[in-house]
Structure 1
Amino acid sequence: MIEVDEVVKSFTLRRRAGLLRRSRTRVDAVDRISFTVAAGEFVGYLGPNGAGKSTTIKMLTGILTPSSGRVRVAGLDPSRQRTALARRVGVVFGQRTTLWWDLPLRDSLTLVRHLYRVERSVHRTRLAELTELLDLGSFLDTPVRQLSLGQRMRGDLAAALVHDPELLVLDEPTIGLDVISKATVRAFLTRLNEEQGTTILLTTHDLGDVERLCRRVMVIDHGRLAYDGSLPELRGALDADRILVVDLARPAPPIEVEGARTVRTDGPRQWLAIPSGGNAAAVVVAVAARHEVEDVSLREPDIEDLITRLYRTGVPVEHSGGRVASDRQQ
């Protein structure tokens, strides 16, 4: 569905260098990135502000032309075949609406139908499906300006899917949403991907979205791909500790057992760090043999901590037969 091969996108910055002179500096917003996304995948595309995420998205959708390299989306060249590509791709920008501000949502979706030249009967069926899946019924006839942020986001998702695209590109789709609205959007996207096979590329700063939705994660930093793989692979590659939380019957000195180290105590509760690859079950058995235990729980490394650590240190990771390394290592 997506092919990106050695793509570079450069910009020229002009700065004042004197009274009448200006200097020019070349900045590579995207620097020799290569990856593929197969049809039906749900991929998270992460990175700090300024890393190159939005630039990549704009090249995939034909808004920007690569300085060098090759981009293909659904077999098309995005910058040269934008009209043909628009019929096969849906795009949602969380901070920008594609709806008409003064029109009821229903009328906005009708205008979108005309833009994509969707047959009336097909649109009627599609709108009924989207209304049910996104729970649009209560505000279809409400002007867009009067919708809450969560309602507007669901309307934008519907607008992006009116023409039943093969690929859905989402840029911060849950930004600013409340817990209930986030849950609604996440459930819809999961269903769209699993039941209809829609390929989804998600960029977000909400790592909760990534944990709940994405089976694969790509991390971009300083214009280069720092990681491409699954979250479990990322945890293993960074040798991140798992945390065993132990509630004892009564307060005790820090627990000492093989295969773990105590990193925190608070009365009868203690936190034990278990290195990546360590045997958590063996640690639990060893603790229970020496102490009276009331409860235990095992916590996986927090994704936010993992991503932060990746930005800071970088780590080469094997994925799908290829090798991807961070900016510092390349």
Structure 2
Amino acid sequence: MTVVEVDQLSMSYKAPVRKGGLRAALTSLVRREYRIVQALDQVSFTIAPGEVVGFIGPNGAGKTTTMKILSGILHPTSGDVRVLNNIPWQRRSGFLTRIAFVRGSQPVGGSQELTVLDSLEYQRLLYDVPRPEYRRTLTELEELLKLGPLLERQLRALSLGERMRIGLAMALIYRPEVLFLDEPTIGLDVTAGTQIREFVADYVRQTGATVLLTSHYMADVASLCPRLILIDQGHVKYDGPLAELSARLSPYKLIRISARGDGNPEEFGEVIESSDGQWVLRVPRDEVAQTTGRLLQALDVVDLSVEEPPLEKVIDRAYREGLR
């Protein structure tokens, strides 16, 4: 069983082309030139119920275009798409009440003069949510998103982090089964970003919702997404476990060690960080177990952990060098 099915999805559009100068500007008034931009090129993937999948790629890779197609905002050039066994761009009401598309760049629409509570009530009416169910859901969202102090405030008076929380509340007040989250923590400080990630994780655990998430912040991906789809220039470059991507692209792991005494960890691997009895060693993957044993025997170890390299470096390498 799948919730999202994407098969050979392609999307192209015409973009106007105009050379610089007055003559080119005048010419474009009577004979406009265009170039074809291929935003997506035969993209295919499926998502099972309850999965949380990171949809990652550089700017212009086709992430938001895909999200808009899946939520029914755009009609693709070709390909077959099903979300909850519906064709998204037909935008049937029964389908729209089962999905939510939340953009971090514009989390809350509508009149900015309304209070948060009025906006949520409007969502209730728009999606025909029974009042008893609305009250139960609102009580849960108040607790999860800490909405209490915000309910009587106008939308225009909210900070960016508060607007993101309200945007999620408005999207979830009708309990959608599928969430498309486009940069949900963009522009947020560390605390607000952490709150959003914790909320998404809690919501998925409690409801079993399916989530497709895009983000340039690897903390979002690392903490929420066991599976990663990497897209670049309109093509899927990788689709699989996040841990496997690290193993394919990074030939080493990091050993973080804290030790007492005069031992020298440099004898056991490449030291990339060193400070006050704490070191970080870069060690080939196939030598981690052996090196860890040697460290424990040779040093007075206080603490030791083995870590994957930072996800940012792994993804950056995937962009620059591709996947082999």
Under a length normalisation based on structure 2, what TM-score does the superposition of the two structures give? 0.88
Query: Of the candidates 73, 80, 85, which is equivalent to residue 63 of structure 1?
Result: 73
Tell whether the 8 Å contact from 2:112 to 2:154 is kept in structure 1 after alignment: yes
Q: In structure 2, what is the equivalent of residue 281 of structure 1?
A: 289
1:85/1:283 Cα in 2 relative to 1: closer, same or farther (>3 Å)?
same
Q: In structure 2, what is the equivalent of residue 328 of structure 1?
A: none
Tell whether the 8 Å contact from 2:265 to 2:295 is kept in structure 1 after alignment: no
Tell whether the 8 Å contact from 1:90 to 1:165 is kept in structure 2 after alignment: yes
Tell whether the 8 Å contact from 1:10 to 1:28 is kept in structure 2 after alignment: yes
1:24/1:145 Cα in 2 relative to 1: closer, same or farther (>3 Å)?
closer
Structure showing the higher helix proportion among its residues? 2
SS in 2 for 1:219: strand
Amino acid corresponding to residue 105 of structure 1 in structure 2: V
Query: Of the candidates 196, 199, 222, which is equivalent to residue 211 of structure 1?
Result: 222
Q: Is residue 272 from structure 1 mapped to residue 278 from structure 2 by the alignment?
A: no
Q: Is residue 91 from structure 1 mapped to residue 101 from structure 2 by the alignment?
A: yes
Alignment of 1:1-330 (within 5 A): 1-16=3-18, 19=24, 20=27, 22-96=32-106, 97-247=108-258, 249=260, 255-257=266-268, 260-262=269-271, 270-276=279-285, 278-290=286-298, 295-316=303-324
Deviation at 1:189, TM superposition (A): 1.0
Amino acid corresponding to residue 62 of structure 1 in structure 2: G
SS in 2 for 1:63: coil
SS in 2 for 1:255: helix
CA distance in 2, matches of 1:180, 1:282: 39
Tell whether the 8 Å contact from 2:61 to 2:231 is kept in structure 1 after alignment: yes
Q: Aligned residues: percent identity?
A: 40
1:26/1:38 Cα in 2 relative to 1: closer, same or farther (>3 Å)?
same
Tell whether the 8 Å contact from 1:14 to 1:25 is kept in structure 2 after alignment: yes
CA distance in 1, matches of 2:37, 2:63: 15
Deviation at 1:192, TM superposition (A): 1.1
Tell whether the 8 Å contact from 2:71 to 2:100 is kept in structure 1 after alignment: no
- Equivalenced residue count is 313
CA distance in 2, matches of 1:124, 1:236: 47
1:283/1:118 Cα in 2 relative to 1: closer, same or farther (>3 Å)?
same
CA distance in 2, matches of 1:63, 1:269: 52
Please say which of residues 75-84 and 52-61 is displaced more in the overlay.
75-84
Tell whether the 8 Å contact from 1:250 to 1:267 is kept in structure 2 after alignment: no
Deviations 1:151-177 (A, max 9, x none): 221111110011111101111111122
Under a length normalisation based on structure 1, what TM-score does the superposition of the two structures give? 0.87
Deviation at 1:13, TM superposition (A): 2.1
SS in 1 for 2:114: coil
CA distance in 1, matches of 2:274, 2:159: 44
1:131/1:245 Cα in 2 relative to 1: closer, same or farther (>3 Å)?
closer
CA distance in 2, matches of 1:139, 1:292: 52
SS in 2 for 1:133: helix
1:222/1:113 Cα in 2 relative to 1: closer, same or farther (>3 Å)?
same
1:292/1:225 Cα in 2 relative to 1: closer, same or farther (>3 Å)?
same
SS in 2 for 1:175: coil
CA distance in 2, matches of 1:109, 1:190: 22
SS in 1 for 2:139: helix
Deviations 1:221-278 (A, max 9, x none): 1111111112211111113311224455566777344xx44556668655432223x2
CA distance in 2, matches of 1:295, 1:125: 46
Amino acid corresponding to residue 183 of structure 2 in structure 1: E
Deviations 1:99-157 (A, max 9, x none): 53111100000111111111222222221221122111111111111122222211111
CA distance in 2, matches of 1:263, 1:126: 49
SS in 2 for 1:301: coil
1:247/1:41 Cα in 2 relative to 1: closer, same or farther (>3 Å)?
closer
Unaligned runs of 5+ in 1: 317-330
Tell whether the 8 Å contact from 1:59 to 1:65 is kept in structure 2 after alignment: yes
Deviation at 1:207, TM superposition (A): 0.8
